[in-house]
C-alpha cells in the first residue's frame, strides 16, 4: 500500500469510529478523498502536455525540429551566415545589400536607411570609391517586405554590378531578380510579413518548406509550403494555428 493509501485508510477508519451521524461521516469521507486525489495528481497526463490552449501553447520551434528530423528536412541557415556565392541572382551582381527604411526616421539625413545584411561584407571592402558613392546614393521608401511591428518599415535591396546599381523594392522586381528558385538560401526571400522559413526539402519541381509565423492578433503557428522553381507558392498544410499571449 502506498503512503497516500495508508493515510487515507487510517483517516477513513477514524471518521467511521466517530459518534457523528452517518450523513456527516459520509460528507467528511468524500471531502477527504477529493482532497487526496487533488494532492496526488502532480503527474501530468501526456495528452494534456500537447494541448494547444492559450495557457499551454505548442513550442513551434521544437515541433518543427522534430518534424524535420522525422521527415528528413534540412535546416535553412540564417542569412547572416550566407555569402553571395550561395545565391544565383539575375545579372550576376558583385555585391548585394539588404536595407531597411523606417518612415519615422525619414527626417534624419544620415543615415536614411539601415543596412541589415551584406552579401557579403568581405566584398564590400574591395569596392571602389565610385562604387560606394553610387551604392549610397541609391535609396527607396518602398520594399518587397515589411517589418518593425507595430510600427512600419520597408525592406528593400540594392545590387551593384560595376558602377550600376539596381534597386529592388517590390515583389514583382524581386522575383525577376531571383530568377529560378534553385538555391535553398533563395527561399528566405519568398516569405515575408511575419513568416519565416526554417527547414526545406528538395523535390522534383522545387522545394517543400516548413515555416513558422506570428501576427499581432495574438496568434502564431507553422505551415507547410511548396515553392516551385518559378517562385510560385502553394500552401500545402496549416500545421499549427494557435492563440498565444503575444503583443506587438
> 3-class DSSP state for residue 193?
coil
For 167, phi then psi, to 5°, come to -105, 125
Number of Cβ within a 10 Å radius of residue 197: 20
Confidence of residue 215 (pLDDT cuts 50, 70, 90): confident
Q: What is the reported pLDDT for 5?
A: 46
Q: What is the reported pLDDT for 47?
A: 34
User: pTM surpassing 0.85?
Assistant: no
| C-alpha angle 226-230-231 in degrees, rounded to nearest 5 | 55
Report, as an integer, the average pLDDT of 163-192.
Answer: 95
Specify the higher pLDDT residue, 17 or 187.
187
What is the Cα–Cα distance from 226 to 203, expressed in whole angstroms? 9
Q: Where are the domains of the chain?
A: 3-44, 57-76+193-248, 89-179
**Per-residue pLDDT tens over the stretch 98-154:** 999 987 655 555 568 999 999 988 999 999 999 999 999 999 999 999 877 667 789
195: CB partners within 8 A, 6+ apart: 211, 212, 213, 223
Task: Show contacts of 229-232: CB within 8 Å, 24+ apart.
Answer: 229/180, 229/181, 229/182, 229/205, 230/180, 230/181, 231/175, 231/178, 231/181, 231/190
Amino acid at each position: 500500500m502506498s503512503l497516500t493509501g495508508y493515510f487515507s485508510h487510517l483517516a477513513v477508519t477514524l471518521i467511521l469510529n466517530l459518534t457523528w451521524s452517518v450523513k456527516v461521516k459520509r460528507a467528511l469521507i468524500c471531502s477527504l478523498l477529493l482532497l487526496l486525489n487533488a494532492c496526488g495528481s502532480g503527474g501530468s497526463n501526456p495528452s494534456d502536455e500537447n494541448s494547444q490552449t492559450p495557457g499551454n501553447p505548442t513550442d513551434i520551434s521544437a515541433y518543427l525540429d522534430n518534424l524535420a528530423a522525422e521527415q528528413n528536412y534540412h535546416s535553412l541557415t540564417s542569412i547572416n551566415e550566407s555569402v553571395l556565392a550561395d545565391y544565383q541572382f539575375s545579372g550576376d551582381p558583385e555585391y548585394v545589400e539588404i536595407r531597411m527604411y523606417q518612415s519615422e526616421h525619414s527626417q534624419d539625413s544620415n543615415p536614411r536607411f539601415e543596412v541589415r545584411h551584406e552579401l557579403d561584407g568581405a566584398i564590400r571592402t574591395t569596392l571602389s570609391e565610385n562604387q560606394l558613392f553610387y551604392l549610397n546614393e541609391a535609396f527607396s521608401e518602398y520594399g518587397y517586405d515589411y517589418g518593425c511591428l507595430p510600427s512600419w518599415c520597408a525592406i528593400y535591396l540594392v545590387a551593384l554590378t560595376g558602377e550600376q546599381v539596381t534597386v529592388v523594392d517590390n515583389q514583382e522586381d524581386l522575383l525577376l531578380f531571383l530568377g529560378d528558385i534553385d538555391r535553398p538560401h533563395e527561399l528566405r526571400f519568398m516569405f515575408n510579413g511575419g513568416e519565416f522559413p526554417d527547414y526545406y526539402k528538395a523535390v522534383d519541381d522545387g522545394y517543400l518548406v516548413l515555416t513558422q509565423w506570428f501576427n499581432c492578433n495574438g496568434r502564431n503557428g507553422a505551415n507547410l509550403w511548396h515553392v516551385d522553381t518559378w517562385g510560385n507558392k502553394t500552401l500545402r498544410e496549416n500545421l499549427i494555428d494557435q492563440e498565444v499571449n503575444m503583443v506587438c
